[in-house]
Every structure is written in C-alpha cells, then in structure tokens.
Amino acid sequence: MSTEVPKTLDAEEVSSWSDDVDVVVIGFGIGGGCAAVSAAAAGARVLVLERAAEAGGTTAMAGGHFYLGGGTAVQQATGHPDSPEEMYKYLVAVSREPECDKIRAYCDGSVEHFNWLEDLGIAFERSYYPEKAVIQPNTEGLMFTGNEKVWPFLNQAVAAPRGHKVPVKGDTQGAKMAIDLLLQRADSLGVQIRYETGATGLITGSPARLGGAEVKLGTSRDPDDAGAVVGVTWKRFGESGAIKAKSVVIAAGGFVMNPEMVAQHTPKLAEKPFVLGNTYDDGLGIRMGMSVGGATKHMDQIFITAPAYPPSILLTGIIVNKDGKRFVAEDSYHSRTSGYVMDQPDSAAFLIVDEAHMRKPQVPLVPLIDGWETVAEMEAALGIPEGNLVATLDRYNTYAARGEDPDFHKQPEFLAPQDNGPWGAFDLSLGKAMYAGFTIGGLATSLDGQVLREDGSPIPGLYAAGACAANIAQDGKGYASGTQLGEGSFFGRRAGTHAALPAG
C-alpha cells in the first residue's frame, strides 16, 4: 500500500489506444454502477473497469439501507409523513460543513430517486420496524437509522424514519441485490464491463487535439484545455493499454484498506478497529483524482461503531468516561455515541446498567466487565476517581425518576433510574469493544460529480462518485445508516448523466 499519487500520462505520448468510448467508469459499486447505467441511458458508449473478478465492491457487503425521504411510498404507506424541507433541515443540522446545494438536491430528488430504484427492481416492503436497532431483523422496509429522534436534532427538524432497506434478511450483503439489478440494467443498455482490469492512471491532454470533440454550451469542458482528462491507462495481468474517453468517472471506493493512508488521515482507525471494506478500498481512485489537481475534503472523518444495542433497554443506563462523567445522550444512533467515545481520554468509556435493566446485547461487540454490589465498588474497580461515578449516577437517577435529563436531554422512553443493584459495566473502550469503521472523506466534487480543484474550478472530463467523493456523508457523528448507498447511488446517477454530455 502507498500514499503515492500515481503519475499521469500526456495523450501525445500514447502510441495506440485500445478503446475509444464516451465514458469510462472506474469501479462497479453502487456509485459506479449508477453512473454507468445513467451515462448509457443518456446515449453514451460506456466502459467499466473493475479490478475485482466480480462487481459490487464494498456495496455488496452492506446491509442494504438507502437513506431516502421527502415522502416516499414506503413512508406514506406506513404513516410517516415527511417532506424534502424537513429532510433538508435534518441533514444540514448533522453536517459538519454542509454543502447545501447537494443536500437540497438530494432531498428534493429523494422521492424520484426512490422511484428510480424501484423501477430498477428493488421492491421496498411497505412495512415499518419500530424498535431501536442497527438494522431490521427481517425484511421491513423502513426504520429510523440516524439521530432524527435525538436532541438537539428533534427540535431542529420534524423526525421521520428514512432508512429504506432492500428486502433481504440479515445485516450484510443486502445491497448485493442492488448490484445484481444494476448489472442487469447495464447489460440491457450495452455497457461493457471488464473484470480483473484496473485503471492505473489518468491521461490528460486537449480534447480538440484528439479529434472528435463536440462542445456543448454551458458545460465545464473546454476542448482546448490541455489539462483535461481524456482517458485512462489500464492493466490486466500482463496486459496494459490506454483508453480514450470524453469523460472518466472515478468510483473506486474509499481508503480504509490502505494502512498508510488511514494512519495519515484517520489515526483512530489505525489503532484497533476492524475495518469495513473490500480489498480494493486502497484510496487509488482518490489519489488518481489528486494526480490531476483534484482537491480532497473531510479526509479526517470516519464512521466508527460498536453498538451496545439492541436490546434498547440497555440505553436506559449511563455512559461515562474514565473520569466517571457522562458525555453523550445514550439514546444516540450508535455511530454518534462511538464517535464521542473516540473523543474521550484514552478513548475509554463504560456503559453502566443496574440489575433491573440489564440484558445481554444481541450482538456481543461490547463486553461485560463484571458486576458489583455497590456503585462505590464498581467505581474503584473501573479506576474512576473516588466519588465521581457515585455523584454522576445519583444526579442521573434523581432526574430520571422525574422523566428528565437536563444534562443531555435523553428522551423519556430511555430514561429510568439505575438504582436497583447490583450494577454491571460494559466496556465501550477502544481496544476492548469490537469497533468497526470506514473512511468518509474523498475528492471534492460539484453537484454533478465533477472533480474540483482547490480553487473550486472543475477539472474537465473528470468525475467522482461513491466513496471516492465527498458528498453529504461527511461527519461520522452525524452519519445515518443508508447515507452511503443513498447518496452514492443518487450522485452516481448525476455524475453519469453529466459525464455523458456531448463535450470534449
């Protein structure tokens, strides 16, 4: 693995081209697949280069949530009113540096995108799963997958469930159905896919000098721009070559499988967690974009989690750091809680629950340390300064008995005094709990997926989608399950459609 930026090749140095197409897509995950079929549907000749022996990338490993809202058919059928405006207000509220044009487009286009996915063949079940969980246990089509019902966000936007799940049981590979359906659509549109063929670098030059450049007014591509991306180099086992293209869409995944890039940008992921990705999430696509001047954004952001729930009754307890202080509302979405754990001294934290509310976690990611007859004994055993945990728990219990939480505003259904000993402590600390995570940052892009330079200008002929691009899933604490599949597919479509515009 490497942090090295690959070299570019000048088009004038290419002696022969193996192919001449309109759009090359690098990678066939959710972003690349949607870009490929959308470009082909717009009339482009599309060629996909896929390093793996089959399509899917990390998408094929995902549970299958698409974060969609604004009044989808599933929301309507299950009695959960929503609007693009409320969805917009929520996503802006949870974003660190909201790109409002992208969030607005995503929310305004969410119902149409839902309909497009159903037209693709995903029949989202018209049913709702009401419990607080990581993913629906069966095929329920809708659940809350973010912090919509968590303070302060529930005061900033009307809460609505937006986690639309592909109708497949289980918590992994649910999104493989979407990939299979995209492959069928790609085949019907004449998209070429070359497996075990990796893009190795970008080719730059003047589209006009390559011949056949047709410029459409209003596009960003200038046929006389010598810095335009006009193709890619590739390698397949012992073969290599160069492909001429009017546009290139990079959709090759994030960088979670590149230890050097992870250590450089997201050191917490380099310490202990199990990383979520596939072999080729090595950041090569992002580095290709950088090779022609592409800027990056939010490279320090991660999704990281070790859920203590379900069962949700455990969230009636308190989560404290090594000083015995609470630091997050316990009813937060699991990655928000985990993100705040990472910020604590030594990334150490404990979930304290009394006997009346103690249950075994359904997924054993957070180990039970022990049980104690008194809070003072537990405090000493956990190494918390004397009196701190006792005081924290006493304060919490006093207000919880009234249905209040003035410190972190946990919602009433998760408030219950923890005063029925003995008490147990679960270890949420990094290195003790089984954390897993992935990277969020990527190439800076326009609303239509154009890769942008540091000055905000688009690089002619170059696009990025999926985990290669920094779109709306930019803050680990504000992340909601289904955001990557949702925005990856949505902005993948936009990138493919724009890349197919007739231009040099």
Domain boundary among 165, 193, 225: 165
Residue 274 pLDDT greater than 80, yes or no? no
Same domain for 78 and 43: no
Q: How far apart are CA 481 and CA 491, in angstroms?
A: 17
Tokens of 302: 């991660």
Q: What is the pLDDT of residues 437-451, one digit of tens each?
A: 888 999 999 999 999
Q: Model confidence at 116, in pLDDT bands (50, 70, 90)?
A: very high
Q: 255-264, 265-274, 459-468: which has the highest mean pLDDT? A: 459-468
Q: What is the pLDDT, as a whole number, of residue 268?
A: 84
Is residue 221 in a domain? yes
Q: What is the pLDDT, as a whole number, of residue 276?
A: 77
Q: Model confidence at 392, in pLDDT bands (50, 70, 90)?
A: very high
CATH number, residue 395: 3.90.700.10
Same domain for 494 and 454: yes
Is residue 155 in a domain? yes
Q: What is the pLDDT, as a whole number, of residue 503?
A: 57
Same domain for 408 and 312: yes
Query: Checking phi first, is residue 20 left (phi over 0); if not, alpha (psi -120 to 50) or beta?
Result: beta
What's the length of the chain? Answer: 504
Same domain for 218 and 234: yes
Torsions phi, psi of 481, nearest 5? -55, 135
Is residue 432 in a domain? no
- The residue-averaged pLDDT of 71-95 equals 97
Q: Going by C-beta distance under 8 Å and a sequence separation of 6 or more, which residues neighbour residue 229?
A: 202, 203, 204, 247, 248, 292, 459, 460, 461, 462
Number of compact structural domains in the chain: 3
Is residue 37 in a domain? yes
Same domain for 91 and 235: no
Q: How far apart are CA 195 and CA 187, in angstroms?
A: 14
Is residue 433 in a domain? no
- The residue-averaged pLDDT of 121-147 equals 94
Same domain for 396 and 257: no
Same domain for 291 and 155: no
For residue 207, the surrounding DSSP H or E stretch is: helix 207-210
Burial environment of residue 309 by CB neighbours within 10 A (0 to 12, 13 to 18, 19 or more): buried
Is residue 315 in a domain? yes
Sheet holding 442-444, edge to edge: 296-297, 442-444, 469-470
- The residue-averaged pLDDT of 389-406 equals 98
Q: What is the pLDDT of residues 336-349, one digit of tens each?
A: 999 999 999 999 99
Q: Model confidence at 424, in pLDDT bands (50, 70, 90)?
A: very high
Q: How far apart are CA 457 and CA 220, in angstroms?
A: 9
Is residue 404 in a domain? yes
Q: How far apart are CA 315 and CA 319, in angstroms?
A: 9
Mean of the per-residue pLDDT values for the chain?
Answer: 93
Q: Model confidence at 48, in pLDDT bands (50, 70, 90)?
A: very high
Same domain for 289 and 223: yes
Q: Model confidence at 63, in pLDDT bands (50, 70, 90)?
A: confident
**Residue 354 forms beta bridges with which residues?**
423
Sign of CA dihedral 111, 112, 113, 114: positive
Q: What is the pLDDT of residues 167-195, one digit of tens each?
A: 987 665 668 899 999 999 999 999 999 99
- % residues pLDDT > 70 (the chain): 94
- The residue-averaged pLDDT of 379-407 equals 98
Domain boundary among 397, 427, 457: 427
Residues 248 and 202 sit within 8 Å (Cβ to Cβ)? yes
Q: What is the pLDDT, as a whole number, of residue 168?
A: 85
Q: How far apart are CA 394 and CA 98, in angstroms?
A: 39
CATH number, residue 24: 3.50.50.60
Burial environment of residue 103 by CB neighbours within 10 A (0 to 12, 13 to 18, 19 or more): buried
Q: What is the pLDDT of residues 221-266, one digit of tens each?
A: 555 576 899 999 999 999 999 999 999 999 999 998 899 999 999 9
Residue 214 pLDDT greater than 50, yes or no? no
- % residues pLDDT > 90 (the chain): 82
Q: What is the pLDDT, as a whole number, of residue 216?
A: 40
Q: What is the pLDDT, as a whole number, of residue 475?
A: 78
Residue 396 pLDDT greater than 60, yes or no? yes
The residue written with tokens 């030059």 in the block is: 205
Q: Model confidence at 59, in pLDDT bands (50, 70, 90)?
A: confident
The residue written with tokens 């459609």 in the block is: 497
Same domain for 458 and 387: no
Same domain for 454 and 375: no
* pLDDT top residue among 172 and 387: 387
Same domain for 179 and 103: no
Domain boundary among 427, 462, 481: 427
Range in 129-143, 187-201, 443-457 with the lowest mean pLDDT: 129-143
Same domain for 70 and 115: yes
* pLDDT top residue among 225 and 322: 322
Residues 321 and 328 sit within 8 Å (Cβ to Cβ)? no
User: What residues make up the domain containing 103?
Assistant: 65-165
Is residue 335 in a domain? yes
